[in-house]
Homo-oligomer: A and B are copies of this chain.
Amino acid sequence: MGSGHRDCPGTESEDAGKASACEGCPNQNICASSKAKGPDPDIAVIKERLSSVKHKILVLSGKGGVGKTTFTSMLARGLAQSEDLQIGVLDVDICGPSIPRVMGLDGEQVHQSGSGWSPVFVEDNLGVMSAGFLLGSPDDAIIWRGPKKNGLIKQFLRDVDWEDVDFLIIDTPPGTSDEHLSLVQYLQNANIDGAVVITTPQNESQIFPPTTGGVEQMADEMKVPFLGKLPLDPRIGKCCDEGTSFFEEFSDSPAAKAYQHIITGN
């Protein structure tokens, strides 16, 4: 039953809603009707809108609290140190947006122009879009089901006026659900360059060191590149809490150098 999705014929299939794997699936009726048929015309609109974005990178993790948002902000700020690069950050953690805080943009609002929603800028070359900017107060919460989250993600991809951007970094919520499926679906023709998966050792204290070979061995087994290890420097957490740039404040720290190594390869 847990593997039912593997045999899902897909919403565009002739068998949609009619295959044996569809039995018991809550989407069976809508798939069996003609409503789910055909590619979404917005996928082409999104491709056109994002044609001015050179590279698109997703940041993912299986579990929460491993540092996705911290990594996203550090990657964006690290890249933005090159003044000739234009960087965008898109926060699709709709029900728990924390990019505004770590970027020092709490309380900012999105502005609309004739060409779409304008990102909020941290620096001249670093723009940000987040569901957090749509809330009246930082204490407000967004309590939405998947379809409504998917609608906002589509708006973010289709309606934000990024202009010319070299790297668009997309921060996602923990796990593998609507947000991730929608991103991959909506960006299917817009070329995602890659995904960075963030993980932490099971036991950060290292009092009981890992015995399974850890993430390097896993990356090796799964034949994906292992990008590097990042030290836990409490000053990174402090900078994220305060919305300031760790690279500017602690440029010579081992943590800053470890990030630089992952970002530039040097």
Contacts of A205 in B (CB 8 A): 234, 237
- Say what secondary structure dominates the interface of chain A: loop
List which A158-184 residues lie within 8 A (CB) of chain B: 173-178, 180-181
List which A45-92 residues lie within 8 A (CB) of chain B: 62-66
Contacts of A181 in B (CB 8 A): 143, 145
Q: How far is the CB of A90 from chain B (nearest CB, A)?
A: 16
CB 8 Å contact bits of A105-142 with B (1 = contact, 0 = none): 00000000000000000000000000100111000111
Kindly identify which residue among B98, B148, B177 contacts A143, using a CB–CB cutoff of 8 Å: B177
Contacts of A145 in B (CB 8 A): 27, 146, 177-178, 181
Q: How far is the CB of A105 from chain B (nearest CB, A)?
A: 15
B234 and A208: CB pair below 8 A?
A: yes
List which A203-250 residues lie within 8 A (CB) of chain B: 203, 205, 207-208, 234, 237-238, 241
Contacts of A263 in B (CB 8 A): none
List 5 tightest A-B contacts by C-beta distance, closest first: A65-B65, A64-B64, A146-B146, A2-B134, A26-B151
- A234–B203 alpha-carbon span in the complex (Å): 8
Size class of the contact patch on chain A: 35 or more
- A178–B136 alpha-carbon span in the complex (Å): 22
On A, residues with C-beta under 8 Å from B are 1-3, 5, 24-27, 62-66, 93, 95-96, 98, 131, 134-136, 140-151, 173-178, 180-181, 202-203, 205, 207-208, 234, 237-238, 241
With A25-B148, A65-B66, A143-B180 given, can you name 8 additional A-B contacts, CB distance below 8 Å?
A: A62-B141, A63-B98, A64-B64, A95-B176, A202-B237, A202-B241, A205-B234, A208-B241
Q: How far is the CB of A65 from chain B (nearest CB, A)?
A: 1
Residue among A131, A144, A208, A238 with the most chain B CB within 10 A? A144
Contacts of A63 in B (CB 8 A): 64-65, 96, 98
Contacts of A140 in B (CB 8 A): 2-3
B24 and A151: CB pair below 8 A?
A: yes
A96 and B146: CB pair below 8 A?
A: no
A26 and B178: CB pair below 8 A?
A: no
